Amino acid sequence: MNRTLFLILAVSVFTGVMHAQSNAEMDKEIESILSKLTLKEKVAMCHAQSKFSTPGVERLGIPEVWMSDGPHGVRAEINWDDWGYAGWTNDSITAFPALTCLAATFNPELSGEYGFAVGEEARYRKKDVLLGPGVNIYRTPMNGRNFEYMGEDPFLASTMVVPYIQGVQKSGVAACVKHYALNNQEEWRGHINVKVSERALHEIYLPAFKAAVTKGRAWALMGAYNKYNEQHCCHNEILLNKILKTDWGFDGVVVSDWSGAHNTMESALYGLDMEMGTMTNGMTDSEEYAYNHYYLASPFYALLKEGKIDESVVDDKVKRILRLMLRTNMNPTRPAGNKNTKAHQDAARKIATDGIVLLKNTDSFFPIDPKTTMTIAVIGENATKSITIGGGSSELKAQYEISPLQGIKNRFKNATIIHAMGYASGPSAYGRVIPSKLDADSLFKAAVKAAASADMVLFIGGLNKNHHQDCEGGDRLTFGLQFGQEDLITEISKVNPNIGLVLVSGNAVAMPWLNKVKAVLQSWYLGSEAGNAIAEVISGDVNPSGKLPFTFPVKLVDNAAHHFGKLSYPGNNIDVVYEEGILVGYRWHDTKKIKPQFAFGYGLSYTGFDLNNIKTDKKTYSADDKIRVSCEVKNSGSRDGAEVIQVYIGKPGSEVTRALKELKGFKKVYVKAGKSEQVLVELNVNDLAYYNESAADWSLEKGNYIVYVGNASDNIAQKLKIKID
């Protein structure tokens, strides 16, 4: 290799910067390759050849495209033709915290670190496309897949998704943002038709996808299983052809969700580029090569041959696929990637500690002095249960996973730690609930006994990744905690009221036990470093600074989707009607004055923060202006910590229904004990527009607006009036 080329390669590997071709060069190369392909070869590139790959063109040196789930780490190798694990011994990886945790950090920089690290792992594992991130909006706490998404607010999800995508793609791997669109429940996900107003579609459900495409420049996108406008989202004229490819100018590849394609003509004409996961009629006993049964395989070829579909249709798909390849596996300066590095583990731990949310802390229960010699009873199945196994396609084979119990033992060396499981949920199995064989009564009694003998209790429970908990392929069945946890907490509180509860979940849960425990930490699914991260927060090594990315309602009917009854969730098996329109999450609670258990944006700290001197730079703005909101954040306590300044905007007397207020800007700031930091949050005036259904476009209303500045959606330090003219 000559010296200059070596240097370019070395620098690009080192910095992670790729010297990609310009668009014009790329287009030229694409045209040149396309002209050499036969129709058969083109069609073959549009569908799978195995569970997670599409074929290349050997005679031209065009490689295969390899994909992997996503989004919390790179999934273990799957068999060629079925869902079994291939049993490799070199495919264990770093498990990163679930995306709900990432969203709870309110820290876009960490999202970039997350994306880059997981991208490097995907690259090392020779993947070209990482199937993630997911940005479906949190509409109901019953959705089994909420843990894979970024919460209920479109602005938060849009802000957090962009650096993740840029990070992944900097590693030379395409991010595949999913599941586009309206896949907000798992129940009947394969066929349910979502009826939603145009306004809610554009204001709530699409913005994060739009940001992923127009700002994150995602190279791939996955269609959702469900239908919109009576058409499956994987071949949907409005969502894919009009909105994604025309209005947003998406130049990447639309991948179907696995078995999300249903019809050749629609797949061909309505925006699908790569068909994956379709069940063929006979993987093993078919006479013909099984993958030829795909909708975009032989049936597509036949229609092209007969002239019923124009060749420009397949050409467009192949051009997109080649573009993805020139950006990834055909880019000679692509970085090399690596996995399980200290940097990745540190990133996983940092994101985990930054995302943990302190919900309640009576009598400063937390932090617990790490030198304590007390007896601590650690109770609950989640103290030891793996949280990277299960959950469906986001399941991971972590190289290691520190359990909460292990993390606590490591950090509280002088304490006597006793552990009781307390309840048992049974093993994880996809699509099935397998009851535990352990005797529930004995587990219950042993836990109460352990609690009685200890100075304090750390109850580590919540949900898990089993079917009907936080898991793909099914929704939750109850809003409360299962397996007797609610009774167990009550009984424990009778023998030892000194309880701190660590809620492991990706969803809100009912908390009838809230006044029986002193403290609650929302700890999500934290990945490889789970136990260390929890111990760091419990011990006060890290001051918690996470904020809820979704509302915890008191009762399920307080949630907007549930307020409107069955047709609104889960639907009637044909349609689901989003009756609440734009009033999703805190927008509903605020506007209808329904007090939540814990509000969107809420989260405590071990120190206190005062927000002073809150101002806007002007009183009157016009479109295209920036609104600069400044504020002084004083750390009034004795520990260093971080606070998230949140700026919401409301439009009183609007010509259309509006939420009382909507998040339009935020900034996380680290402030040393006793010190102050000046914070500037910039908002775009154009972001205050609403989607005008009759104009099919965004409308910016003139007049008075209210700027709400606070550290939670229900804790506003100051309201300011501004005017748009």
Residue 459: name the closest of 492, 481, 508, 417 by CA. Answer: 492
- Beta carbon of residue 176, minimum distance to ligand BGC (angstroms, whole number): 8
CA distance 421 to 461: 9
Catalytic residue check, 153: no
Three-state SS across 128-170? CEEECCECCCCCCCCCCCHHHCCCCCHHHHHHHHHHHHHHHHH
Tokens coding 422? 């307390």
- Beta carbon of residue 476, minimum distance to ligand BGC (angstroms, whole number): 17
Task: Pick the catalytic residue from 257, 273, 475, 558.
Answer: 257
- Beta carbon of residue 131, minimum distance to ligand BGC (angstroms, whole number): 4
Measured between alpha carbons, how far is residue 635 from residues 547, 600, 608 in Å?
17, 22, 6
DSSP element (H, E) containing 664 = strand 662-671
Question: Considering only residues 317-376, where is the footprint of ligand BGC by CB under 6 A?
Answer: none
Burial of 14 (0-12, 13-18, 19+ CB in 10 A): exposed
Of these, 393, 464, 493, 543, which contacts ligand BGC (CB under 6 A)? 393
Reduce the DSSP state of residue 398 to 3 states and report it.
Answer: strand
CB of 76 closer than 8 Å to CB of 389: no
Residue 360: name the closest of 492, 516, 504 by CA. Answer: 516
Reduce the DSSP state of residue 249 to 3 states and report it.
Answer: coil
CA distance 504 to 507: 9
Measured between alpha carbons, how far is residue 31 from residues 37, 140, 228 in Å?
10, 46, 34
Question: Please, which residue, 222 or 604, has the CB nearer to ligand BGC?
Answer: 222
- Beta carbon of residue 460, minimum distance to ligand BGC (angstroms, whole number): 28
CB of 251 closer than 8 Å to CB of 268: no
- Beta carbon of residue 624, minimum distance to ligand BGC (angstroms, whole number): 38
> What one-character DSSP code corresponds to residue 506?
S
Give the angle subtended at the CA of 100 by the CAs of 95 and 103, to the nearest 5°.
Answer: 105
Of these, 43, 44, 69, 470, which contacts ligand BGC (CB under 6 A)? 69
Q: Can you tell me which residue has the tokens 């650096």?
A: 163
- Beta carbon of residue 494, minimum distance to ligand BGC (angstroms, whole number): 44
Of these, 114, 258, 606, 648, which contacts ligand BGC (CB under 6 A)? 258
- Beta carbon of residue 140, minimum distance to ligand BGC (angstroms, whole number): 18
Residue nearest ligand BGC by beta-carbon distance: 393
What is the sign of the dihedral through the CA atoms of 477, 483, 485 and 490? positive
CB of 434 closer than 8 Å to CB of 476: no
Please list, in sequence order, all residues whose beta carbon lies within 8 angstroms of the beta carbon of residue 307, skipping any fewer than 6 positions away.
Answer: none
- 188 part of the interface to ligand BGC, by CB under 6 A: no
Question: Considering only residues 120-139, where is the footprint of ligand BGC by CB under 6 A?
Answer: 131
Question: Please, which residue, 52 or 690, has the CB nearer to ligand BGC?
Answer: 52
CA distance 539 to 524: 18
> What one-character DSSP code corresponds to residue 679?
E
| φ, ψ dihedrals at 210, nearest 5° | -60, -45
- Beta carbon of residue 663, minimum distance to ligand BGC (angstroms, whole number): 26
| φ, ψ dihedrals at 433, nearest 5° | -105, 125
- 70 part of the interface to ligand BGC, by CB under 6 A: yes
Question: Please, which residue, 257 or 536, has the CB nearer to ligand BGC?
Answer: 257
- Beta carbon of residue 220, minimum distance to ligand BGC (angstroms, whole number): 11
Reduce the DSSP state of residue 558 to 3 states and report it.
Answer: helix
Taking the alpha carbons at both ends of the chain, their separation in whole angstroms is 62
- Beta carbon of residue 382, minimum distance to ligand BGC (angstroms, whole number): 24
Residue 47: name the closest of 301, 272, 276, 202 by CA. Answer: 276
- 178 part of the interface to ligand BGC, by CB under 6 A: yes
What residues are annotated to the active site? 257
Q: Return residues touching ligand BGC (CB under 6 A).
A: 69-70, 131, 178, 257-258, 393
